[in-house]
Amino acid sequence: MGEDAMADRPNEVAQRTAAALAYVCAKLEQIREDLRAGAGGDEAPLDHLLAAIRDSRDLAGPLERLHARLQADGDAMGIYGNIRKGAVGRGLPLAGVDSSSPPEVVYLCPAARCSRYWWPQVATSVPPCTISGQKLRRGRL
């Protein structure tokens, strides 16, 4: 592996983790229901991931275990099959966002650990993070 490839590896892992957390955040209740209905019948892999997030621990192991459990319970794609390679942080403009106009407001993960986002909507208050319950943080594109 070349020096450039090794330098990119931590960034790729961080991007993959952020995309996986965004997926879990968006599908939290569905994942919880799937785990309850699955062969294990409990939410332990999800609970372990949520505890790791709250305690600022490494998330690779808990994400892998949750992914494997979902697959074992019949979700062939699990977590990682539902995220696009390179979907996070490639510096490409978002579709529908005019980069020549003033920056647009977007709300992001309060802990900056996942890549999920929420666009402001008229007469709708900013939702909390599904995982931590904290208010999403305001950002600009």
pLDDT of residue 73: 87
Q: What is the pLDDT along the chain (141 residues), one digit of tens a residue?
A: 555 555 568 888 889 999 999 999 989 999 999 999 888 889 999 999 999 999 999 999 999 999 999 999 888 899 999 887 544 333 344 555 555 555 678 899 988 888 888 898 888 898 899 888 998 988 877
Q: How far apart are the first and last CA of the chain?
A: 34
Contact by Cβ (8 Å): 39, 72: yes
The reply to whether the predicted model has a pTM over 0.75 is no
Residue-wise burial string across 64-97, b where 16 or more C-beta atoms lie within 10 A, e elsewhere: bebbebbeebebeebbbebbeeeebeeeeeeeee
Residues 28, 34, 35, 36, CA torsion sign: positive
Q: 87 near 79, Cβ under 8 Å?
A: no
Torsion angle defined by CA atoms of residues 41, 44, 109 and 7, in that order, rounded to the nearest 10 degrees = -120
CB atoms within 10 A of CB 16: 20
Question: To the nearest 5 percent, what fractions of the chain are helix, strand and coil?
Answer: 45, 10, 50
User: What is the predicted pLDDT for the residue at 139?
Assistant: 83
